[in-house]
Amino acid sequence: MTRPGGAATPIWAVLAIIAAAIVAHASYTADLSAFLPRSPTATQQLLIEQLRSGPAARLLLLAIEGGSGAERSQVSAELARRLRADPAFVAVNNGDAAGLERDREFLFAHRYQLSESLTPERFSAAGLRAAITDSLDLLASPAGTFLKPLLTRDPTGEMLGILDTFGAGRLPRAAEGVWSSPDGRHALLMAQVRAAGSDTDAQQAACDTVRRAFASSLGAIPAAARPSVALLMTGPPVFAVASRALIKGQVMRLSALAALLVAVLLLAVYRSLPALALTLVPVASGALAGVAAVALGFPAVHGITLGFGITLIGEAVDYSIYFFVQQAADWQHSVWPTIRLGMLTSICGLAALLPSAFPGLAQLGLYSVTGLVAAALVTRFVLPAWLPRELAIRDLSGLGVRLAGALPHLRRTRIALVPVALLAAAALYAHRGTLSHRELSALSPIPAATQALDEELRIEAGAPDMRYVIVASARDRESALAAAERLAAPLETLVEQGAIGGFDSAARYLPPLAVQRARQASLPPPTEIGARLREALSGAPVSASRLEPFVLDVERARSAPPLTRADLEGTSFAAAVDALLVRSADGWSALLPLAALGSGDLKPGAVAQVRAALAGEPRVHTVLLDLKAEADRLYSSYLTEAARLALAGLGAIVLLLVLALRSPGRVARVVAPLALAVLAVAGVLVALGGRLTILHLV
């Protein structure tokens, strides 16, 4: 005689092998894409691009502490040298001469194409006299040390002007030849990772490379000093790697602990290892089927899916418990309907997540629905074939009788639940304005001390927080550069007015072709430059003959080919242009990050001034992107949709119960304990000072 369910075993085995193969070859990710919509708006798309591959998402801030200033300087120089030689980094800056030499050579060679002060008036006799007089006056200042060797080739001070425009004044202070914190405790470096910010594996590899390079760089100082010198590292890549490690570690630990507790409880109840092993088969089958379904339906499986999904399908343990504890000859008719109804109610609640615009919720719904269906089917068709003929399970009928006898006494205490519900509802009402976290930072597992270190190093290095970014869109690269150039004048006005501390632009490092040609056209021909120079130097302490190198440079600059992106290769400006000039599906975008005065964010009034300045340039299609506000708004919409889908799922569950139980009273008795549990937990959490996040809702 064939045992019930025997034919299902080979089918289960084949499907399990196929699912395991799919799971083994699936892609997994732990980035923010779970919280990003599948069909984003234009503004959301800009935000997503910045979160995934923007310059802020790839910036590492490094600090070397301990030892003497000279020792920190030596380690900094060696570390910078090693990182510059590594293709994982597009730019490494620490303020040393080695890092600046190539940049200075490039700026000096192309100063007449890059100088924003270059106009026809500047090279008139009067303009030359004023510019050269300013340069001579600067010889007596601290800048004279830099200017004096350049005077015969750059008497108008174009190089100094370019350095000032590029923000040399906002760079960290220098000590022992490298960047240093204001208090002198840290030697500072900034490194730009080549990989996208969303590529957490590459970011982790880059962080590991920095640590290995630092360990090797300690060889530049005496052995006795090495133990006292340490590396501090922060920035979005560090946060991304740490977040993934923390989440992965906690999920693994909590999942293992939960599995252990369930196993211990079941073993204590069953007193049978075979029964325990069989109980876990539906859960394992459901988890495998769920991951395989998500891998087939989405490009990558998100960590949030694995973390929450295994929790949601944990109820599959109940299926086998019903099967073992309440098994009877006709269990398909006496027990299976109860399992089936429980599965269907769960599916109704979770299926509401499937149409979500956010991949994280949609994946969670697909994982859980598939997993529960698979677990129920394994319980129904596979377990009967695997059940030993003599399965010794602890007899719990006595405990069941005692619990049943206690129920009438417990019913008399139901009145105590009324004040519990009222207190919980009162707590929720009292905190109705602050019930939930609407900021994405609420989900960050990064410790406060690590976040404080990031803020400290960011202030010391003068690194912008990149919260506010102007995005100028255009059809092609050259048009995007032209748009960025047109925005420079109104933004410079805001800097002069003290509304903003500064801004960055790709057009500074790679001016549009039209601007380059106009600047070259401002340079007088050789037949005129000599006469103007002699007139300008009449009575000056410098003769025109000494400035012959200047005349030759001007002549070469007039006929020089225009600068292109290829000319920037080998300089730090190449990375800047690549970060600030990005291509999208609809064309090109020029990014202009804004810096606040001092530390902190732009004031609301300053933001209004920026918007007004942008409105004054109707020829340029611009968006002022507040990365933090947009990220919070996106997360808030994620939270709102999750709540809406949860309510839809609840409605579907109630409707199913009404159809199955055919009694409003019975439905109310089933739903009431669940509703009270949710109300009580939420009320206690809020009363203790907590706030609800997407994690509580899911």
Go through the domains of the chain in sequence order and give each one's CATH number: 8-36+248-441+658-697 (1.20.1640.10)
Angle, CA 568 vertex, CA 565 and CA 571 arms, to 5°: 150
Q: Which of 285-294, 498-507, 676-685 has the highest mean pLDDT?
A: 285-294
Which string of DSSP letters, residue by residue, matches 532-554? HHHHHTTTSSS-GGGGHHHHHHH
Q: Which residue has the higher pLDDT, 55 or 551?
A: 551
Q: Which residue has the higher pLDDT, 99 or 678?
A: 678
- Select from 229, 367, 221, 232 the least CA-distant residue to 291: 367
Task: Render pLDDT for 40-69 as a digit per residue (tens, 0 to 9).
Answer: 777 777 777 777 777 778 889 999 999 999
Percent of the chain exceeding pLDDT 90 equals 28
Contact 190, 60 (CB under 8 A): yes
Query: Sorting pLDDT into bands at 50, 70 and 90, what band is 88?
Result: very high
Distance CA 492, CA 497 (A): 9
Distance CA 541, CA 132 (A): 11
CB atoms within 10 A of CB 399: 11
Check pLDDT > 80 for residue 366. yes
Q: What is the pLDDT of residue 648?
A: 85
**Longest alpha-carbon distance in the chain:** 120
Indicate the SS3 state at residue 617: coil
In the numeric block, the tokens 């990375």 are attached to 575
Check pLDDT > 60 for residue 406. yes
Distance CA 199, CA 188 (A): 25
Q: What are the residues whose beta carbons fall under 8 Å from the beta carbon of 389, sequence distance 6 or more?
A: none
- Token readout for 408 is 């009438």
Check pLDDT > 90 for residue 512. yes
Reduced 3-state DSSP string for 17-36: HHHHHHHHCCCEECCHHHHC
Distance CA 406, CA 30 (A): 48
Query: Sorting pLDDT into bands at 50, 70 and 90, what band is 695?
Result: low
Q: Which helix (H) or strand (E) segment is 250 a member of?
A: helix 236-270
Distance CA 483, CA 580 (A): 12
Q: Which of 18-27, 395-404, 567-576 has the highest mean pLDDT?
A: 18-27
User: Considering just the CA atoms, what is the radius of gyration of the chain in Å?
Assistant: 34
Q: Out of 128-132, 269-273, 505-509, 577-581, which region has the weakest mean confidence (pLDDT)?
A: 269-273
CB atoms within 10 A of CB 277: 11
CA distances from 531 to 136, 158, 523 (A): 20, 20, 13
Contact 516, 116 (CB under 8 A): no
Q: Which residue has the higher pLDDT, 488 or 584?
A: 488
In the numeric block, the tokens 């009449």 are attached to 538
Distance CA 44, CA 374 (A): 37
Distance CA 378, CA 280 (A): 11
Contact 299, 362 (CB under 8 A): no
Q: What is the pLDDT of residue 86?
A: 93
Contact 481, 590 (CB under 8 A): yes
Distance CA 64, CA 74 (A): 10
Indicate the SS3 state at residue 674: helix
Q: What is the pLDDT of residue 2?
A: 46
In the numeric block, the tokens 């590459």 are attached to 202
Mean pLDDT over the full length of the chain: 84
Query: Sorting pLDDT into bands at 50, 70 and 90, what band is 343?
Result: confident
Angle, CA 310 vertex, CA 308 and CA 315 arms, to 5°: 110
Contact 510, 577 (CB under 8 A): yes
Distance CA 40, CA 637 (A): 12
Distance CA 73, CA 279 (A): 62
Distance CA 30, CA 28 (A): 7
Q: Which helix (H) or strand (E) segment is 565 a member of?
A: none
Check pLDDT > 90 for residue 30. no
